[in-house]
Structure 1
Amino acid sequence: MLSTTQHHRFTRQLKASDPTLVQAFAALGDATRCRIFGLLFIGKELCVSDVAAIAHITVPTASHHLRILELSGLAISQRMGQMVCYEPAPTPLVRRLRRLVEAEE
């Protein structure tokens, strides 16, 4: 059984959990999004239509998944004329996740 001190310490750690990490794992909980996230490391900037073609999904579906990755802080987008291209977000969390994705290959 936990001591009172341990209980308080664990409670503080639980309250201090990073919501960004929770959002990232929620986004990567979808198999298609997880595959798309891995694709972003292969190309410098991948446009929605490129992701759709590579992942064998429709452009609207690719756009939806990429938008969720962006909202969760895992990807960033850049408009290039009528196209929107995505790349991994330059964050410490994404760098750590990249190592995990590459280890799986």
Structure 2
Amino acid sequence: MLTKEQINAIKKDFSREDERMPVILGTLGDPGRFRIFKILMEHRDICVTDVASILGVTVSAASQQLRVLERVGLVRKDRMGQMICYEVRDDDPIVKSLCKLFS
């Protein structure tokens, strides 16, 4: 059985990233969002219209899925005039690890 000190030490080892991981994995559990994430891993600055064309979905549907990926911190958007493009947030340690895992 663990001592109180050991339990407290283990509790301290858990970080906010541990709370974030189930949310990220749940988000990528959707096949459409996973495909979009894979596309963005392989190609930088892909616009919403390009994602829609690649997947054969409406721009609205692609945009909605990209917003979900952005909300959990997997991608970031960049406005280029009228177009909105997305890229993987490879400066994030969790995202970087996922990119290694999925490549």
Q: TM-score range by the shorter chain?
A: 0.7 to 0.9
Is 1:99 the counterpart of 2:100? The answer is yes
The answer for unaligned runs of 5 or more in structure 1 is none
User: TM-score when scaled to structure 2?
Assistant: 0.82
Q: Deviations over 1:66-105 (max 9, x none)?
A: 1111111100100111110000013222111111111xxx
The answer to whether the 8 A contact 1:20-1:73 is kept is: no
Is 1:46 the counterpart of 2:38? The answer is no
The residue that corresponds to 1:89 in the other structure is: 89
The answer to whether the 8 A contact 1:78-1:85 is kept is: yes
Runs of 4+ in 1 over 3 A off after TM superposition: 1-14
User: TM-score when scaled to structure 1?
Assistant: 0.80
Q: Deviations over 1:27-79 (max 9, x none)?
A: 11211101100000222210001001111211111001111111111001001
Identity rate of aligned residues, in percent? 39
Q: How many residues align?
A: 101
SS at match of 1:41: helix
Structural RMSD (CA): 1.9
The answer for unaligned runs of 5 or more in structure 2 is none
SS at match of 1:95: helix
The residue that corresponds to 1:32 in the other structure is: 32
The 5-angstrom pairing of residues 12-27 of structure 1 reads 12-14=12-14, 16-18=15-17, 19-27=19-27
